[in-house]
Amino acid sequence: MSKLKNPLLSFGARGSLAKIVSFVRRRRTNIVEKIPLPADAKSYDQLSWRTMFLMARDLWLELSPEEKRTWESAGTTRHLTGYMYFMSQALRPNPGIYLPLLGGTMQGDIAMAAFKIENLPDPAADQDAATKAYVDLAIAAIHWDYFFSNTPSGIGAYFTMFTEPTGEAESTFTSAALGGGDDQALFQWISKTAVPFAMIEAGVISIHIHAERTIGNRSVNIYAEIYEYTSLAAEVLIATTETSEAVIDAVSSLSIHATLAADYEIALTSKLLVKFYANIGGAGAATTVALYAEGTSSARIAIPTPAGPLVDALIAAHAAIAAAHHARYTDAEAVAAVDIGEGHINILPHSYDSIGQGTWFYSVDSTQFMNGHLIHAPTNDGNNLTYKVYLAAGTYTLRVLGTVTALSAIMDFDIDDVEIASFDWYAGASARNQVRSQTGIVVATSGLKDLKLRVDGKNVLSGGLIVYLTSISLWRTA
């Protein structure tokens, strides 16, 4: 569209023609020139900036009158209107009101309003975010172990499986002389008590056993069957492992596995039963097979289960210990009659008596001793909880096991509101299973004490107030 004044071909032509050429007069000279066009007109960067400007403007319009007055006041000292100062801060690269695509540092919380954060990498540092796939994979590695022992179960010829190593010397189980043939029974183990889980998850059941061919020269391979042993003494087959590699004339470590294609529901009144069998092949003299458990063999079966029962069982076990302890010492005469607090007192942090501030909960961590630690959220200064402990008058050492990180807090311990120890859990690099100790703690009188744990600030280099606590131990030294 032409916007000319005076005829096109006259010396007095002024204006533009179709946004292509312009007619101007400069310094007594009539000039016809091409209208310049920006090389990046309506580029991605320009459009993005315009969008950011409009969003910042909308934010200004949504401010309350009081908020606008605050910006007006701040802008006055800079010779700017409140709107100008607000926009200058909103559109700064960082820290502004918007976080640049190239990244930056947040100055406040983010409410996702049901939207997702996607395409996260796998976490590397302790405080990195984790995807559902990463957590699912980590949980899949959680399993319930049963350890084989030479303790008779009282059920047929079955031996007992325990949920913890027995600590006994290595035990040997030697078969009778076996001729050729498959599926020859060896030995069987049954759990001491009913299972604490209602489901065996789909996945891999693993069995670790040490074995040896002790007599004869026939080939030997072993396998196992896993059963549910019901309260009515019925045996229901759950899975069968693959056949092991050849058992040789020396003690060797064997790992055999059974794959569950789907979750298996098991009654909470049932026990777990494992039966070992041998396939004997070839010609030659009758052969005997020895299996080994306990000692350093760590012979066991690992059952994939949901994480919940593992944590619940751990908490329940120590809650029962705490209840028995309290029941023993509730009577004043009983307290006076015994020497309280002798030896070691070991406390699992989640077995607290009361919470003074914050939310405290148990977090599973397979790389930490006892597979987890107590943490708190939100990580506020002053968060605290209290344990009830019986201590005799004397001198004690306090030892605490936890994790150090670049975001960790200082943790103080009090007995009856008197500080007895202060531990700084900050470290430039994260490290698990770290010990902090305090000696020479004097307890003046015997009786029930309040042992309080509290978050008390942080190292100047620390970026947070995090606590990772795994165990607390007190023992009397004098």
List of residues 6+ apart from 37 with CB closer than 8 A? none
How confident is the model over 409-443, as pLDDT tens digits? Answer: 999 999 999 999 999 999 888 888 888 999 999 99
Question: Poorest-confidence range of 123-137, 195-209, 234-248?
Answer: 123-137
Question: Poorest-confidence range of 87-101, 295-309, 311-325?
Answer: 311-325
Average pLDDT over residues 353-364: 84
How confident is the model over 172-223, as pLDDT tens digits? Answer: 999 999 999 999 999 999 999 998 888 888 888 999 999 999 999 999 999 9
Domain ranges of the chain: 3-34, 44-90, 143-305, 309-476
| Same CATH fold assignment for domains 143-305 and 309-476 | yes
Burial of 149 (0-12, 13-18, 19+ CB in 10 A): buried
List of residues 6+ apart from 234 with CB closer than 8 A? none
| Higher pLDDT among residues 147 and 92, named by residue | 147
- Using DSSP, state whether 472 is helix, strand or coil: strand
Residues 276, 261, 246, CA angle at the centre, nearest 5°?
A: 35
Q: Which fold has domain 309-476?
A: Jelly Rolls (2.60.120)
Query: What is the predicted pLDDT for the residue at 7?
Result: 56
Query: What is the predicted pLDDT for the residue at 335?
Result: 43
Percent of the residues in the chain that have a pLDDT greater than 90, as a whole number: 40
Does residue 67 have a pLDDT over 60?
yes
Query: What is the predicted pLDDT for the residue at 56?
Result: 83
User: What CATH number should be reported for the domain whose range is 143-305?
Assistant: 2.60.120.260
Q: How confident is the model at residue 307 (pLDDT cuts 50, 70, 90)?
A: low
With beta carbons less than 8 A apart as the criterion, state whether 377 and 423 touch: no
Mean pLDDT computed over every residue of the chain:
82
CA distance 66 to 88: 19
Average pLDDT over residues 456-473: 88
**CA-wise closest residue to 210 among 162, 160, 164, 244:** 244
How confident is the model over 82-127, as pLDDT tens digits? Answer: 999 888 888 776 555 556 666 667 767 777 777 888 888 888 887 8
- Crossing angle of helices 82-90 and 65-76, rounded to 10°: 90
Q: Is the dihedral of CA 229, 230, 231, 234 positive or negative?
A: negative
Query: What is the predicted pLDDT for the residue at 339?
Result: 46
